[in-house]
Amino acid sequence: MKNIAVIGAGTMGNGIAHTFAQFNYNVQLIDISQNSLDNGIATISRNLDRMVLKEKISESDKNKTLENITTYTSIKEGTKYAGLVIEAATENLDLKLQIFKELDSVCPDDTILASNTSSISITQIAAATQRPDKVIGMHFMNPVPIMKLVEIIRGYSTSKEVTDFTIKLSKKINKTPVEVNDYPGFVANRILMPMINESIETLYNGVAGVQEIDTVMKLGMAHPMGPLQLADFIGLDVCLSILEVMYDGFKNPKYAPCPLLVNMVRAGKYGIKSGEGFYDYSESKKALKIAKQFA
């Protein structure tokens, strides 16, 4: 298998494309927006430039990686020869079901269909296809070229052969695959999101400020990044979406999103990508100053 199609040229999609291309796979990067594709390739190029500066790769390695990526605005054209398709579109169930129905109709019969979803049921996604045995979850971590973990989520009907193949493929691109069962949030977000949500609740209830909460978790718990800064990095809209999936899936109030998180998303304050979240990113993508007084 040398042809890997990636659906979505956003942060996760371009990171996945970068990683496979760097390991000499032919990558078909697909997005309905040509502008998103152009931005995705520009991001990959910048990230490769940083790797060249750090002497992790050579200039020729960079050029070869970029040559391995071809862009498409058509799913049908981009997946024509794909042995594996990895969907990395917005974390929206209806959109994912629509994409997988289309993939099922246009991809070769033996193509494996994977989703980079961070919380949505692989079993539910697979049910939209006529090949549920060939549908699997590959949940990469952000930033994809750097983070080693890939959660491999086996749906109810995913075959052992497809699971074993996906695990082996993940190792070939220098990732550490961890197989998990198909329940809302899987492992990473089932543990992480309640912590982030509780951090927002702590702020919402006036126990401490943004910087104080993040400092406690960084210095007291040895976290490299505070939970509120991490929420900004992930995207507050993404955090809200994952919590809603978990709340709907478990019907447990401990997963109910904090009202402050809901209001911030409604106000368009998503974190780094919108320029403001718990921190102000209008001048820098680093969390240098608090966005406002929350307490």
| Amino acid at position 247, single letter | Y
Phi–psi pair at 84, nearest 5 degrees:
-140, 135
Q: How far is CA 148 from the centre of its chain?
A: 13
Contacts (Cβ under 8 Å, ≥6 apart) of 90: 8, 10
Length of the chain, in residues? 295
The catalytic site residues sit at 118, 139, 151, 189
Q: 180 phi and psi, to 5 degrees?
A: -135, 160
CA-based nearest residue to 22, from 79, 64, 84? 64
CA distances to 194, 224, 287 from 230, in Å:
13, 9, 10
How many CA atoms lie less than 13 Å away from 248 in the CB half-sphere? 10
Distance between CA atoms of residues 198 and 204, nearest Å = 9
3-class secondary structure, 45: helix
Beta-bridge mates of residue 86: 6, 114
